[in-house]
Structure 1
Amino acid sequence: MSPTLPSERRTMPRALVAVAVAVMLVASGCARTLPESPTQGAFGPASEQVTPSPTGVATATASPTSSPTATSTPTTTPTPKPTPTDPWKALSAKTQKQFKKCRTTTVGPGSSGACALLVVKKLKAAHYYPWALTSRINQTSGANAILNYQRSRGLPATGIVAKKTWLALASKAPVVPTVLPKKCLTKGVVICVDQAHRKLFWLKDGEVKKTVKVRVGGYNYLKKKKQKKGEWRIYATANGTWKVYDKQVDPPSDNYGSGAMPYSVMFYPDMYVHYSPGFHAVGYAGSSHGCVNVGSLSDAIWIFKHTPIGAKVHIFSATKV
């Protein structure tokens, strides 16, 4: 899609819910904790506009003269508040029946049963789960399919299917439109990463010169040195605006070793745009630990060569709720 310019039946264990909802980055090579970005959150309301009269001049209408002896008592009738509507009632009876037993449950990594299978079926129908059907949400492809679906619909990327995500799946909510923020449309070179559509836009002076499919942070496992065990959780790519401070063909990494992040364009300590052999091999079945993965080596080399030190990097997520 071309960007518009500008503008279970087993309920998941509580511990896994807390783990999946905790969206953070861990230090060293595509995993570092970042402060909450001021760019995150719902978009603000549109500005009110005043429509001029056809003549461009406001006109006043003369009111009839009231009799000095006439009196009028204004009647004040309170405006009734609109009655909230249940969005589920707008769905077909068949759909309501299909989701009735699951819409009050939570499904996420490790969940299994009928509701987990329903999630997989709906993700598959929405083209976010190209693998075989399973009644268990595993900790790689299943969890990341949920995350990618949520981002594409402007939902909070928690990796957990709860009330809002159930409704989106049931109602076949559309993908959010591709709109590049104004921060991407400035002078010079800008790398603009759209998490909802998993795309990197390389711009120069406000014009898109190259569009590349990317993979961002998600549900992953990390085991650092001197640790006996690692941890499964969401290692997110944080929204925000940075500048490229360095570029390295093969940067060292304590966690991943040599050759793990070729052609790295570094825009935040331990958070880079780089070629990913893993993304090239397994696609969206996995995720990064916060970096922006490029699955095409030629595209990664192109970005590396054409992006100067000091170029702006802006990462954003379209948000509806």
Structure 2
Amino acid sequence: MRMTGMRGMTGWGRSITALLALATACGCTVQAADGGGKQRSPVRIELPSSAPPSTPAEEKGGNENKPSATPTKPPPAVLWSRGDSGRDVRELQARLRQVAWLFDGPTGTYDDLTERAVKGFQGKRGLPRTGETDTVTWQRLLRMTHEPGKWELYLMGGQPAAAPDPRCLTGRVLCIDKTSRTLRWMIDGRTVSTMAVRFGSRYTPTREGVFSVYWKSRHHVSTLYDSPMPYAMFFSGGQAVHYSSDFAARGYAGASHGCVNVRDERAIAELYAQVRSGDKVVVYW
């Protein structure tokens, strides 16, 4: 006999049909615990989760590819660099001598030797080798050294330039003081620049007196000693003011053959460009 709809179903069949219809309407999952036996097993209905479905980005880790903002640390402030001068630079040089990175001076002028010493100190301690004394370099040096006294500041490697000789107060003058081992470039009594110098030994002394520049030779080489004399400004026979790479390397441990050696090449290059033939030279104790 043919039956339509639910009229011919048993009570169990009608219940199953109703549950399936309900599950379909609400999006639930219907699962039988065991369909193999004769005993009818209860039907479990799994209700859907209220959480929204995950997106592909969430399944792959969310914002893992989004760059994170890292704050940039500003570089330490520079306290002194090449060309600076003064008492603070003198203290820096004295402290560099204490840790054996500088072997002459202090002169009070931040020259090429000081820059080279600072680079060495920085590199040994893993700091950027800038040659400039920044706050980090200075604090590191302070922790390793003691406060220098007067002897370390002024008497170990040349005293501060004293008042110039009266003969230097008029005109254009290379005013050279053997006591403080300094050269002043002066115009009408005003000091334009000051630099550290060294002189001849007791066997080849630098002559003292009042002279004048009679010849300039930018790339001069000594015919007597076969040694370079860049930026030479001759004032007395074969004696001249000139740059010395030996002075730059060895400091006051060496001596000239009578010339006035300058160790800061940049400083003497500037001086050479300003000095004229005929300008006065005064060398004195």
Bin for the TM-score computed over the shorter chain: 0.3 to 0.5
Name the structure with the higher helix share.
Answer: 2
Higher Cα Rg: structure 1 or 2? 2
Higher relative contact order (CA 8 A, sep 6+): 1
